[in-house]
Amino acid sequence: MNNLLIISAIVIVLCVMFNKISSKIGIPMLLFFILLGMVFGTDGIFKIDFGNYNLANDVCSTALIFIMFYGGFGTKWSAAKPIAVKAVLLSSLGVIITAFIVAILCHTILGIDLIESLLIGSVISSTDAASVFSILRSRKLGLKFNTASLLEVESGSNDPFSYMLTAIFIAIISGGISKEAIITMVILQILMGILFGVLIAFLTKYILEKVNLDTEGFDTIFVVAMAIISYAIPSVLGGNGYLSVYITGIILGNVHIQNKKSLVNFFDGMTGLMQVLIFFLLGLLSYPSKLIENFSVAIAICLFLTLIARPISVALVLTPFKCSLKQQLLIAFAGLRGAASIVFAIMVYISPANTSNDIFSIVLCIVLISILIQGTFLPFISKKLDMIDENADVLKTFSDYSDEVEVNFIQLKISKEHLWIGKTLREITIPPNTLIALLIRNNEKIVPNGDTIINEGDTLVLAGRDLSDDYGITLNEVVINKKSKWVNSELKDVNLENGLIIMIKREDNILIPNGQTKIKENDILVLNYMK
């Protein structure tokens, strides 16, 4: 037991160190996790004999629940809404097109049985959110035309459809399933996935609002439990658990709930740990010797997928929306394969389906190639296609704004009419439990004392106690476009029930508004909602 704990701690520390190294040399960190697992595995240096595919399937499927939930929870609907239709079509129709094109090429060129080819295409048809965004965020790649949001929503929501196709073709190969049963399976997967995702999300929101969880951190534990329930219940009833947990996450991430900042921090760390666990475990489970045996087949399928199937599916879905060729090429290239594909390959391995190829080794090899080649060159391709937006912030993806505007210091500019001009600090009255921590005068920073005299043009920095979440205050962003009902209105004419506009971001300026402040197009309003 102690040896296992020591090995686990060492692995986690090494993964954290690899994360720092990968961001510097430009190779995706997820590749290191798989390679580290191989080093510890049977064919590696430490010779840990781990061949329990059933246990690996259970562990990886559970880890995928949290990755899928956080994929939804971290999606900012205001940014995703303009591209939602395109993203959903890519994650559904695009997955189906990709799977079938790969299957046709595998059958006609490699001579693999048609149904088995369809199974292979299904397993590798989805892109991986963790792989894509670990690269975008580590390299701070802001992309034009809402491409980052499009990739985020597509890669976060296409795993359920890949899972559904995989389950269908496993059932077909295993035998004993009719066309009527397949149709019923598809309907149940989609409808029950959506239904339970919505119901559990709003039930969770209602309980968090109505029940006071006195002990700090219990709300996080409660949300973890509800995320697991949102997967488990529809799965037991024949629905798509991954679709359900993703929908639960996206709804909870875009409604007003208390302590969202702590939930964001927790699930961010949890998702990182789950990625480490999945990729290390899959590396431990693999045999490099088998990867070499299946390399020629894997590289052929990877070429089919990357150069033919993915670009065609992207073009068929996005061309009707008049998306530029450059954007389509980047989206096609950014279709990295990752953890979900390997988890689905394990499903095939432990299923009754009798396949002539080692699908697990083939898929793992494809994922390694995809992460190494596409992941490494994604920043380069983005730059060559002129798709990088220097003003876009890819790190800012969360729907809750309070984690970015947590105010510990307040800046106060002294105008020429201010009553404090000519007075010393000890002569003025400031709110209780606050302190003037800094005075900025002509770009010079001064640590003030009671005898410091305030002049016109000074900037005072007031330090105050941080506000806890117990007061039920939630900060949220609203982006004003030309169709907004508030555009060109003064704040005094804006009716907000239980809310207040406390800040306006206008281009590079931050405005603290008053009643006469006029709202303009492209303004970003920060709203304070009281529960």
Say if residue 511's pLDDT is above 90: no
- Where along the chain do the CATH 3.30.70.1450 domains lie? 408-465, 471-531
SS3 (DSSP) at 491: helix
- Residue 247, φ and ψ in degrees, nearest 5: -65, -40
Residue 48 has a pLDDT of 75
Residue 464 β-bridge partners: 434
Q: Domain 408-465 belongs to what architecture?
A: 2-Layer Sandwich (3.30)
Residue 263 has a pLDDT of 85
Angle, alpha carbons 216-221-223 (nearest 5°): 115
Highest mean pLDDT among 133-137, 197-201, 391-395, 416-420: 197-201
- When pLDDT is cut at 50, 70 and 90, the band that residue 501 belongs to is confident
SS3 (DSSP) at 281: helix
CB atoms within 10 A of CB 307: 12
Residue 530 has a pLDDT of 58
Closest CA relative to residue 172, chosen from 360, 352, 361, 363: 352
Tens of pLDDT, residues 279-290: 888 888 888 888
Say if residue 469's pLDDT is above 60: no
Please tell me the total number of residues recorded for the chain in this structure: 531
CA separation for the pair 118, 240 (Å, rounded): 20
% of the chain with per-residue pLDDT over 90: 39
SS3 (DSSP) at 209: helix
Once rounded to an integer, what is the mean pLDDT over residues 237-255?
93
CATH topology for the 52-256+286-384 domain: Na+/H+ antiporter like fold (1.20.1530)
Q: Contacts for 263-272 with beta carbons within 8 Å, 24 or more apart?
A: 263/73, 263/219, 263/220, 263/223, 264/73, 264/74, 264/398, 264/400, 264/403, 265/403, 266/220, 267/66, 267/69, 267/70, 267/73, 267/74, 268/70, 268/74, 270/66, 270/70, 271/66, 271/67, 271/70, 271/130
Q: Which CATH number fits domain 471-531: 3.30.70.260, 3.30.1330.10, 3.30.70.1450, 3.10.20.30?
A: 3.30.70.1450
Structure token pair of residue 294:
């299946």
- 175: CB partners within 8 A, 6+ apart: none
Tens of pLDDT, residues 337-347: 988 898 999 99
- Where along the chain do the CATH 1.20.1530.20 domains lie? 52-256+286-384
Tens of pLDDT, residues 24-72: 555 667 777 888 888 887 777 777 777 788 888 998 899 999 989 988 8
What single-letter amino acid sits at 430?
A: I
Once rounded to an integer, what is the mean pLDDT over residues 384-413?
64
CA separation for the pair 474, 222 (Å, rounded): 19
More confident residue, 334 or 75: 334
Say if residue 165's pLDDT is above 50: yes
- When pLDDT is cut at 50, 70 and 90, the band that residue 256 belongs to is confident
Residue 77 has a pLDDT of 80
Residue 145 has a pLDDT of 87
Highest mean pLDDT among 40-54, 98-112, 214-228, 474-488: 98-112
Once rounded to an integer, what is the mean pLDDT over residues 78-87?
87
Say if residue 397's pLDDT is above 50: no
Residue 393 has a pLDDT of 60
Convert 239-274 to b/e letters by CB count within 10 Å (16 or more is b).
Answer: bbbbbbbbbbbbbbbbbbbbbbbbbbebbeebbbeb
- What does 361-418 look like in DSSP terms, one character per residue? HHHHHHHHHHHHHHHHHHHHHHHHTT-B-TT--TT---S--TTT---SEEEEE--TT-
- 344: CB partners within 8 A, 6+ apart: 122, 123, 162, 163, 166, 363
Strand duo 409-413 + 473-479: pairing: unpaired
Residue 392 has a pLDDT of 63
- When pLDDT is cut at 50, 70 and 90, the band that residue 396 belongs to is low
Residues 257, 205 contacting (CB under 8 angstroms): yes
Highest mean pLDDT among 197-201, 219-223, 501-505: 197-201
Tens of pLDDT, residues 429-443: 887 767 788 889 988
Highest mean pLDDT among 124-128, 139-143, 316-320: 316-320
Once rounded to an integer, what is the mean pLDDT over residues 81-93?
93
Residue 91 has a pLDDT of 94
Strand duo 524-530 + 473-479: pairing: antiparallel
Once rounded to an integer, what is the mean pLDDT over residues 397-422?
67
Sign of CA dihedral 152, 157, 163, 166: negative
More confident residue, 338 or 398: 338
Closest CA relative to residue 139, chosen from 401, 399, 382: 382
Residue 401 has a pLDDT of 43
Residues 293, 361 contacting (CB under 8 angstroms): yes
User: Which of 216-225, 242-251, 262-271 has the least mean pLDDT?
Assistant: 262-271
SS3 (DSSP) at 441: strand
% of the chain with per-residue pLDDT over 70: 88
Tens of pLDDT, residues 345-371: 999 999 988 899 999 999 999 998 998
Conformation bin of residue 385: beta by default, left when phi > 0, alpha when psi is -120 to 50: alpha
Residue 289 has a pLDDT of 82
Highest mean pLDDT among 4-8, 193-197, 406-410: 193-197
CB atoms within 10 A of CB 490: 14
Closest CA relative to residue 34, chosen from 373, 297, 278, 299: 278
Residues 358, 290 contacting (CB under 8 angstroms): yes
Say if residue 2's pLDDT is above 90: no
Residue 395 has a pLDDT of 57
Return the DSSP state at 465: P
- When pLDDT is cut at 50, 70 and 90, the band that residue 468 belongs to is low
Residue 357 has a pLDDT of 93
Say if residue 248's pLDDT is above 70: yes
Residue 400 has a pLDDT of 43
Tens of pLDDT, residues 300-326: 999 999 999 999 999 999 999 999 999
- When pLDDT is cut at 50, 70 and 90, the band that residue 526 belongs to is confident
pTM: predicted TM-score of the whole model, two decimal places: 0.75
**Average pLDDT across the chain, whole number:** 84
Residues 396, 428 contacting (CB under 8 angstroms): no
Closest CA relative to residue 72, chosen from 255, 235, 328, 278: 255
